[in-house]
Chains A and B, each alone.
Chain A
Amino acid sequence: DQQVKQNSPSLSVQEGRISILNCDYTNSMFDYFLWYKKYPAEGPTFLISISSIKDKNEDGRFTVFLNKSAKHLSLHIVPSQPGDSAVYFCAASANDYKLSFGAGTTVTVRA
């Protein structure tokens, strides 16, 4: 039972433009949400997180938005850079416990 879903397996964006990655979840107990970035042959690297008490968190070029009523979160990357080409995983946890991951979205930034 997939509790975290990333419905877009891939995204292609031109360098300098905005990348928007989407994630939906079904478990209303989730209270902490994260985005991880993964390069080939490496483990996932933490990117940004948001607690359920907030609806937005920003860190440099990365902003995560949370819509609890829709059970939806998104990651905005602006401007997109070639080094952003990677697989991005959405993850969520309930009560500070194990993470449930989506299947990932592969982002390709075109020059």
Chain B
Amino acid sequence: GAGVSQSPRYKVAKRGQDVALRCDPISGHVSLFWYQQALGQGPEFLTYFQNEAQLDKSGLPSDRFFAERPEGSVSTLKIQRTQQEDSAVYLCASGGGHNSPLHFGNGTRLTVT
């Protein structure tokens, strides 16, 4: 009965480094979302998977951001050549179906120095 698990909880990267953020959704959940939350703001949509298919990546801020979910469960959000404006909390959420609420992980706080 574990919830959504994200790792690492905290990541400090030097500007220009690549980072990879991991999400383990709730077992059996088809839908998986990535959100970005800046300080003092609500979560902003990044991308959406249904099983292994990435159906919407319209929220990804630039082509430095890439997400995958190759086997329809674990997902990885990769950010290449990190910039200071990438500093935020990255939230993963999974959902079980029609009009059922999304369940969020505790997020990864990324700080780019």
Contact = CB atoms under 8 A, between A and B. Distances in A.
Interface of A: 4, 6, 32, 34, 36, 41-46, 49, 51, 89, 91, 96-104
Given A101-B42, A102-B42, A96 B104 contact: no
Interface stretch (B43-51, B60-68, B78-86): B43-51
Contacts, number: 51
Contacts of A96: 98-99
A45 B42 contact: no
B45 A99 contact: yes
A98 B45 contact: yes
Contacts of A51: 99
Interface of B: 4, 6, 33, 35, 40-45, 48, 56, 91, 93, 98-99, 101-107
Contacts of B6: 43
B42 A43 contact: no
12 contacts: A6-B42, A43-B4, A43-B93, A44-B91, A46-B101, A89-B42, A89-B43, A99-B33, A99-B45, A101-B35, A101-B43, A102-B42
Contact of A43 (B41, B101, B107): B107
B31 to A, nearest CB: 9
Nearest to B92: A43
A43 B91 contact: yes
